[in-house]
Structure 1
Amino acid sequence: MNRLHFGAWLLWPGLLALALTLTVAVVCSAPLPVLAAEGENVGHVSRVKGVAYALHGGALLALTPGLPVRRLDVLKVGPGARVEVTMLDETHLILGPDTVLAMERYDLGRQNGQGAVRLLLTKGSFRVLTGQLSALRGGPFEILTPLATIGLSGAGGVDVWGGFLAPEELGVLHLSGSGVYVKNDGGRCNVARTFEGVRLTSPTAPPPEPTLWSPERRAQALRSVAFD
């Protein structure tokens, strides 16, 4: 299911605007209840290093500090670049180079506590540090990829890294805080301990049991989202 959902995105090399437009078309084809209104601000760009863009309402905008980020925006980070977005619930989302991510849903649960987050990662890497207001959501925080869905669970804050170690290999690393889960068509696993992670190569094979990542592997992952 994830592979079908993202199939159009995997044809990335080509025209940037066309690829991003196809992404938005996929996002818009599956409306969800209790969403923030289309185009509503969900955060703002807090840091940028290098060249990055957002596709918003058919326009391609250069990302600069202070620029609002809206629901259904598609963020594209260029080679060697980094972007940090501060969300309305004080969550910090850092995107590494060559990353494409769509803000499909970011709702704080203003309607009966049914808020939820749904981000779509096509390629690249990210780090999420959830904020103090995250408990207001009342729903799941999930990042969907072609190989698996990465979810953040628990009432406390979570610090997690995720990204593509290769075109067909996804890594997920739990850095601190409450739990992380990884699920796909083959099953689900929980990554509950600090510095444990998983690596997946198939959307249908069950996620492997988490293992402790070496300091070298952790450093490699974190370098992909480091500004310095």
Structure 2
Amino acid sequence: MSRLSKFSPLVLILLCFLTTPAVASNEIGKVVLIQGKPLVERQNQHLFIKRNDPLFTEDVLITPVGSKILIKLEDKTTISLAENTQFELSKYQFDKKAQTSDVSFKMLKGAFRTLTGSIGKQKQPKFEIHTPVATIGVRGTEFWGGMIFSDALDVTMLEGKGVYIKNKHGQVEITRPGDGTMVSKGMKPSEVSMWSEEKLKKAAAATELKQQRQNESEDYLNY
């Protein structure tokens, strides 16, 4: 007789709960579309993720070569990640009733595209994405950021109220769609200037999933 057979069924069930790692973070959104085989790093484990899987604070999303992901947060903010990206959902606080927010994410490498939801409509939203060279903050907008054209960080606003980019060396703000800036390590953000049509198309293509365009009108985007 094995040692486990000596325990009652109830005790065995309790043991299973005790040995199963619990998710300590809060659920903040879900996966709505994937391409390839994206992963999530959660509690020191790397797990494959699929459509409709829940996401939690402190999750690190990883998109290997050939993989992309589109996620939707509680306030209906959407974020799409290019391949070869690592993106940490560090902090997400959203109070719909009080109209307050405190969001702090990290792009460790790669590229992303974000369209803010209810948070972007707040009077004083707090939504920042930290990168190795600068912090990107929004005032309610759709914007793109990435480190895929060079070692520098590129940021552009696609539409909306504005995006600020800052580090200890300086700060700039983008207020016109199609304008962008570049930030190299140890340097202040460059002067804001209009991106070429070719660069805008390359940025959009990097973060667009194959099925995203045809599915954008479907109900799967409803959280």
TM tier, shorter chain? Answer: 0.7 to 0.9
- What is the aligned counterpart of 1:183 among 141, 166, 171? 166
Tell me the residue number matched to 2:16.
none
Corresponding letter in the other structure for 1:105: K
List gaps (5 residues or longer) in structure 2.
1-22, 211-223
Residue pair 1:109, 1:116 contacting (<8 A) in 2 also: no
Corresponding letter in the other structure for 1:222: A
Poorly superposed stretches of 4+, deviation over 3 Å: 109-114, 132-139
Q: How far 1:133 sits from its partner (Å)? A: 5.0
SS at match of 1:165: coil
Question: CA separation in 1, counterparts of 2:61 and 2:48?
Answer: 10
Q: How far 1:57 sits from its partner (Å)? A: 2.1
Tell me the alpha carbon deviations over residues 74-102 of structure 1, each in whole angstroms, 9 at most, x when there is no partner.
Answer: 11011021100000000000000000011
Tell me the residue number matched to 2:141.
158
TM-score by length of 2: 0.79
Question: CA separation in 1, counterparts of 2:132 and 2:192?
Answer: 19
Counterpart mapping for 1:70-219 below 5 A: 70-109=56-95, 114-132=100-118, 134-135=120-121, 138-153=124-139, 157-166=140-149, 168-202=151-185, 204-219=186-201
Residue pair 1:89, 1:134 contacting (<8 A) in 2 also: no
Q: How far 1:113 sits from its partner (Å)? A: 5.2
**Structure 1 residues 58, 110: CA separation in 2 closer, same or farther (over 3 Å shift)?**
farther
Q: How far 1:168 sits from its partner (Å)? A: 2.2
Corresponding letter in the other structure for 2:104: R
Question: CA separation in 2, counterparts of 1:185 and 1:111?
Answer: 34
Counterpart mapping for 1:42-57 below 5 A: 42-57=28-43
TM-score by length of 1: 0.77
Question: CA separation in 1, counterparts of 2:159 and 2:134?
Answer: 21
SS at match of 2:199: helix
**Structure 1 residues 38, 149: CA separation in 2 closer, same or farther (over 3 Å shift)?**
farther
Tell me the alpha carbon deviations over residues 118-164 of structure 1, each in whole angstroms, 9 at most, x when there is no partner.
Answer: 011111000000113544695411110011001101xxx41100000
SS at match of 2:95: coil
Larger Rg: 2
How many residue pairs match? The answer is 188
Corresponding letter in the other structure for 1:170: L
Residue pair 1:51, 1:78 contacting (<8 A) in 2 also: yes
List gaps (5 residues or longer) in structure 1.
1-36
Q: Name the % identity.
A: 28
Question: CA separation in 1, counterparts of 2:199 and 2:176?
Answer: 16
